[in-house]
């Protein structure tokens, strides 16, 4: 926390700047494509989003049938890291799988 004082004539302005924390939550959304295997998407959901095999299957099928689906809801920085991890895993395996962040 920092305090800044600006002086104008006799008046002294004082403002306390606080680092605002972001209480907002963000959805990490998986997007469907024609090439990523169902097995790979389920592996991502289990390893990156801590889903059970049954939940991973349910989410994967939802994305497959509807075009997108929520993998999880997190604080901004966590959501960003999840997207990065998904992208790195997918490129490594040469799949076009994409993940995106949306306001929760």
Position 32 contacts ligand TYC (CB under 6 A) = yes
Binders of ligand TYC among residues 39 to 98 (CB under 6 A) are 41, 60, 63-64, 97
Position 100 contacts ligand TYC (CB under 6 A) = no
Q: How near is the Cβ of 15 to ligand TYC at its closest, in Å?
A: 47
Task: Return the range that interacts with ligand TYC (CB under 6 A); candidates 6-14, 15-23, 37-45, 80-88.
Answer: 37-45
Contact between 42 and 53 under an 8 Å Cβ cutoff? The reply is yes
Q: How near is the Cβ of 25 to ligand TYC at its closest, in Å?
A: 21
DSSP 3-state of 14:
strand
Q: Where are the beta strands (DSSP E) in 1-104?
A: 2-8, 11-17, 26-31, 68-74, 98-103
From 30, 31, 23, select the one nearest 74 (Cα to Cα): 23
Which residue ranges make up the site for ligand TYC (CB under 6 A)? 30-34, 36-38, 41, 60, 63-64, 97
């Amino acid at each position: 926390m920092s305090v800044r004082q600006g002086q104008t004539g006799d008046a002294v302005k004082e403002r306390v700047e606080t680092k605002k924390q972001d209480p907002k939550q963000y959805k990490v959304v998986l997007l469907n494509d024609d090439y990523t295997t169902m097995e790979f998407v389920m592996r991502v959901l289990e390893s990156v989003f801590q889903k059970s095999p049954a939940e991973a299957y349910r989410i994967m099928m939802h994305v497959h049938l509807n075009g997108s689906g929520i993998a999880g809801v997190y604080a901004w920085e966590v959501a960003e890291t999840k997207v990065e991890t998904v992208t790195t895993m997918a490129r490594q395996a040469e799949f076009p799988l994409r993940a995106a962040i949306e306001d929760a």
